[in-house]
Chain A
């Protein structure tokens, strides 16, 4: 017997080549021990020292924040900084916005229509895209712009586009120098990184009101909050790009006697250009995702339309502008991607999803999309010479200018015509699209809601409630100890120290109990997100056709404003924490799924072939070869999923998520709760940074 038993042990080691069983078993035992101690303490002490705080109750810290706010509000206008500098910036932003708005979007008094009508805008955009990004992107731009017009959303779409592009421009002006500086000075990098973390994890509802205080409500405020959210990805990726220039190249340049300035302009920036364009792309996506949030401070564009649809329980009316935002995202994404592919002739797209850029929204997907994946084929076409290209562009400029001129003086070319009575096009009119979506929802909801409501109850009763009781009913010091021990076990002393600091912050906000409830929901939502991501991601990674079919839906769910699907989610799952979790999954699953799929596809084909040759079944192939070898990607997907889930906490608070999300939202809507809402935002940031650092350290330790 013993002789026969020996070979399987060996073979099982070979099947899991990347696992160190010794260390893994230890970690498992340690975690089990922590859990046992935790359970015992929970049984003995539950309900004591949980630091629960009633909804309307406040701590001294919250009151102090209120007082600061009141002071700024009273004295802000006379203060040189708040009134002078910020007020001046606000006026400037508003002036720029109104100028461009009158140019392309609204009537420029005394004209009833903009200076340049829709045809002129389409022509100019076509020409510019063709010059910068090629034919394929041009077709997409024309299609998108016409779609905005046909659905009757021309003017709000233009407004959203203006705000987005203006914000990205500001991000580039501010972000590039900061990114370069961070890449060259480690100390600057260390000082600014936590600030970027905070900017990305702090829920925007927290800073909406203070920003409205400084910039006044309207376009300037919308630009300001958009910049806050869209700036970090650009800075991080710029830093990453400069740092990724090979050391040997830099050395070679130095030895040739280049100065720092020459090195930057002639070596580092050109070599990092492609990565920087990717950074601009990510920044643009982030900016667009603020379109609906900005509507809460009267930001113009498509956002207010989504919100008013939500108010009237009209899914269709909210969905049409929501889909316009999706289309705009796809348009801007593909255009910047195509432009970046043009700037360098090398093949293959840089994947920069290293741990250096792991925080929310910054992971760079490997941009391989159904639309651009086989772009390489086009290279075979004979390229124009530089002179030919510019003369072609010059010739094309003539019809563009004619179109602009016509659109200034012909009404039907200036104001997008109403298509509701045009054959064929009338089915694409905003109102009829909204009706179709409503009909679909009205059919779907009664068909499945008994099942979904039962699902909600089961998950709440059997998973959510017990776990919440364990986390939130334990005395705070037990929970604090458990988290530190967990961080130390899976990641070592570094994340343990970060955990202690973050816990101190959470404790200081006075919202310990609510934070634990939010933590529970975050954990459950992340688990479910990963479940979805694994199932779909593995299928996508293994089968190209599944990938091609699924990806557009993932793109759409990633960019559609969550407010659009809140109403159907409420209809299907009722009010409660589970609905908040569902909304979070809808938002987080696409990115996690894409990362899993990329990881699976990245497993070396020779290994897969070898496993297949040795007779693995499909299930064995997935569980024993592909998943273990894609572990790095899985960890990254979990980390991203987690941060995306966390960014939905506040929106979850509006559909019954309660706890920190609801407090942040309350702070935004109730004057006396401002300070408490701000404190809750700080707590969410602390939770985010804590979980991110634990996951990163765990990945570094166990990833390879």
Chain B
């Protein structure tokens, strides 16, 4: 035929020969083995909420379930509320770090009975207002809330309309900040940042440029291994002082983080149920894994594997 066709044929021939050569060099499929006993556990779908500490919990549990119990683990990325909804409609099996969420507890555990509490994770959650280290050094008395008004001018920004700026985070986070500012008579305005990324980047810039910043933050959190943020002390928390959301004038309570499991999954008899219920570790453990992921850039599975290798005794305790 014409030249174009002949050339194309040549290319095709070259491709076939090339392929043949590559095939000789490659290994065959049989060389790769599948994980043994995959049928025993079945699927395990661990919701992954959007903060790094949570990712650590999820992947440590997931990796143990996969390697020791032979589960087929998947990690759907969802926000807290979507995760709860997913447990109710059967598309999610478990949430492995839950911060309170009284409204969701009421709806899904008390009313619908679709979700069960699976015990504490051992992590203590702290919420509060933080300043970058350079500020705590320069203005040592700033860590007492009663001195905040004295420094309000420092925190003025183009967003805060003449008052000091208190930067808040992702809307899904638990917060009383607007009520606190009002009830403690602080000359501040709550400005919503919108995400964990916004908060961390703000702290980074503030420390690098020595600019003032007062922001909502929380622990456990990998970022503390990078920067020693200093907490501002609010009036001490006493039982019930936060009962009326509009009248709160005290610090956040310490949160005992827990795990959740969908009722359907709990009744399924999967060996992973016991693993999730037994899982417990400390803030330091979690921060270590989170640092591997966020600061050292390891993949969540590699980070989890590294921690598991170093802490086999703790893992064994979950599996007993």
Interface residues of A (CB under 8 A from B): 54-56, 70, 73-74, 77, 107, 109-113, 119, 208-209, 212-213, 216-218, 295-298, 304, 307-308, 310-314, 317, 381-382, 384, 388, 392, 395-396, 398-399, 402-403, 406, 408-414, 431, 446, 449-450, 453, 456-457, 460-461, 464-465, 566-567, 570-571, 574-578, 653-658, 662, 665-666, 668-673
CB pair B2 A313 closer than 8 Å: no
Report which of A395, A409, A571, A577 forms a contact with B159, defined as CB distance below 8 A.
A577
Q: Closest residue to A654 on the B side, CB-wise?
A: B194
CB pair A399 B88 closer than 8 Å: no
Bound CA span A399–B13, Å:
8
Q: Does B86 contact A (CB under 8 A)?
A: yes
- List A contacts of B237 (CB < 8 A): none
Report which of A208, A388, A395, A655 forms a contact with B194, defined as CB distance below 8 A.
A655
Bound CA span A414–B79, Å:
34
Of B117-125, B131-139, B203-211, B249-257, which binds chain A? B203-211
Bound CA span A456–B202, Å:
14
- List B contacts of A403 (CB < 8 A): 15, 19
Bound CA span A209–B78, Å:
11
- List B contacts of A70 (CB < 8 A): 107
Contact of A392 with B19 at beta-carbon distance under 8 Å, contacts A311-B196, A665-B171 already known: no
- List A contacts of B297 (CB < 8 A): 314, 317, 431
Q: Does B85 contact A (CB under 8 A)?
A: yes
Contact of A313 with B159 at beta-carbon distance under 8 Å, contacts A402-B19, A414-B29, A655-B195 already known: no
From 66 to 84 in chain B, residues with beta carbon under 8 angstroms from any chain A beta carbon are 76-82, 84
CB pair A656 B193 closer than 8 Å: yes
Q: A74, A295, A406, A670: which has the most chain B beta carbons within 10 Å?
A: A670
Q: Does B270 contact A (CB under 8 A)?
A: no
CB pair A296 B78 closer than 8 Å: yes
Cross-chain pairs A/B with CB under 8 angstroms, 6 sampled: A54-B178, A209-B85, A307-B77, A409-B28, A570-B202, A658-B192
Bound CA span A408–B28, Å:
9
Q: Which 4 A-B pairs have the closest CB atoms?
A: A669-B172, A298-B76, A460-B158, A412-B26
- List A contacts of B144 (CB < 8 A): none
CB pair B26 A410 closer than 8 Å: yes
Report which of B4, B32, B170, B193 forms a contact with A575, defined as CB distance below 8 A.
B193
Q: Closest residue to A465 on the B side, CB-wise?
A: B158
Contact of A311 with B205 at beta-carbon distance under 8 Å, contacts A113-B32, A406-B19, A669-B171 already known: no
Contact of A413 with B22 at beta-carbon distance under 8 Å, contacts A576-B157, A656-B194 already known: yes
Contact of A298 with B77 at beta-carbon distance under 8 Å, contacts A410-B28, A410-B29, A577-B159 already known: yes
Q: Closest residue to B38 on the A side, CB-wise?
A: A109
Bound CA span A298–B93, Å:
14
Given A311-B51, A571-B205, output 5 extra A-B contacts at Cβ < 8 Å. Answer: A313-B200, A402-B16, A575-B191, A653-B194, A656-B194
- List B contacts of A576 (CB < 8 A): 157-159, 191
- List A contacts of B5 (CB < 8 A): 384, 388, 392
Interface residues of B (CB under 8 A from A): 1-2, 4-5, 8-9, 12, 15-16, 19, 22-23, 25-29, 31-34, 38, 50-52, 55, 76-82, 84-86, 88-92, 101, 103-104, 107, 112, 157-159, 161, 167, 170-172, 178, 191-198, 200-202, 204-205, 208-209, 245, 293-294, 297
CB pair A217 B294 closer than 8 Å: no
CB pair B197 A308 closer than 8 Å: no
CB pair A213 B89 closer than 8 Å: yes
Report which of B23, B112, B167 forms a contact with A410, defined as CB distance below 8 A.
B23
- List A contacts of B85 (CB < 8 A): 73, 209, 212-213, 217
Contact of A446 with B159 at beta-carbon distance under 8 Å, contacts A77-B89, A112-B29, A575-B198 already known: no
Bound CA span A55–B191, Å:
11
Within the complex, the shortest CB–CB distance from A570 to chain B, in Å, comes to 4
Within the complex, the shortest CB–CB distance from B48 to chain A, in Å, comes to 8
CB pair B76 A218 closer than 8 Å: yes
Determine the main DSSP class of B at the interface with A: helix
Bound CA span A311–B290, Å:
12
Q: B9, B19, B86, B158: which has the most chain A beta carbons within 10 Å?
A: B158
Within the complex, the shortest CB–CB distance from B235 to chain A, in Å, comes to 21
- List B contacts of A412 (CB < 8 A): 22, 25-27
CB pair A399 B172 closer than 8 Å: no
Bound CA span A74–B107, Å:
10
Q: Closest residue to B5 on the A side, CB-wise?
A: A392
Contact of A570 with B197 at beta-carbon distance under 8 Å, contacts A412-B26, A465-B158, A577-B159 already known: yes
CB pair B22 A460 closer than 8 Å: no
Bound CA span A396–B15, Å:
10
- List A contacts of B201 (CB < 8 A): 313, 567, 570-571, 575
Within the complex, the shortest CB–CB distance from B209 to chain A, in Å, comes to 7
Report which of B28, B78, B112, B200 forms a contact with A298, defined as CB distance below 8 A.
B78
Contact of A384 with B4 at beta-carbon distance under 8 Å, contacts A56-B178, A212-B82, A217-B91 already known: yes
Q: A56, A298, A403, A456: which has the most chain B beta carbons within 10 Å?
A: A298
- List A contacts of B2 (CB < 8 A): 382, 384, 388
- List A contacts of B192 (CB < 8 A): 55, 656, 658, 662
Within the complex, the shortest CB–CB distance from B176 to chain A, in Å, comes to 10
Bound CA span A665–B173, Å:
12
Bound CA span A111–B34, Å:
8
CB pair B29 A311 closer than 8 Å: no
Report which of A54, A73, A411 forms a contact with B29, defined as CB distance below 8 A.
A411
CB pair A575 B159 closer than 8 Å: yes
Contact of A567 with B197 at beta-carbon distance under 8 Å, contacts A217-B78, A410-B26 already known: yes
- List A contacts of B88 (CB < 8 A): 73
Bound CA span A217–B31, Å:
35
Bound CA span A657–B198, Å:
12
Contact of A119 with B194 at beta-carbon distance under 8 Å, contacts A414-B29, A668-B79 already known: no
Q: A311, A317, A657, A662: which has the most chain B beta carbons within 10 Å?
A: A311
Bound CA span A74–B88, Å:
10
Bound CA span A145–B31, Å:
26
- List A contacts of B197 (CB < 8 A): 310-311, 313, 566-567, 570
Within the complex, the shortest CB–CB distance from B51 to chain A, in Å, comes to 7
- List B contacts of A671 (CB < 8 A): 81, 84, 101, 103-104, 107
Q: Closest residue to B88 on the A side, CB-wise?
A: A73
Bound CA span A306–B79, Å:
15
Contact of A312 with B293 at beta-carbon distance under 8 Å, contacts A217-B91, A449-B209, A575-B191 already known: yes
- List B contacts of A312 (CB < 8 A): 52, 293-294
CB pair A212 B27 closer than 8 Å: no
Report which of B31, B78, B167, B198 forms a contact with A654, defined as CB distance below 8 A.
B198
Within the complex, the shortest CB–CB distance from A656 to chain B, in Å, comes to 5
Within the complex, the shortest CB–CB distance from A473 to chain B, in Å, comes to 11
- List B contacts of A213 (CB < 8 A): 85, 89
Report which of A311, A382, A431, A578 forms a contact with B52, defined as CB distance below 8 A.
A311
Q: Closest residue to B172 on the A side, CB-wise?
A: A669
Bound CA span A585–B283, Å:
41
Q: B16, B178, B201, B202: which has the most chain A beta carbons within 10 Å?
A: B201
Q: A304, A465, A671: which has the most chain B beta carbons within 10 Å?
A: A671
Bound CA span A396–B12, Å:
7
Q: Closest residue to A672 on the B side, CB-wise?
A: B103
Within the complex, the shortest CB–CB distance from A95 to chain B, in Å, comes to 15
- List A contacts of B196 (CB < 8 A): 311
- List A contacts of B26 (CB < 8 A): 410-413
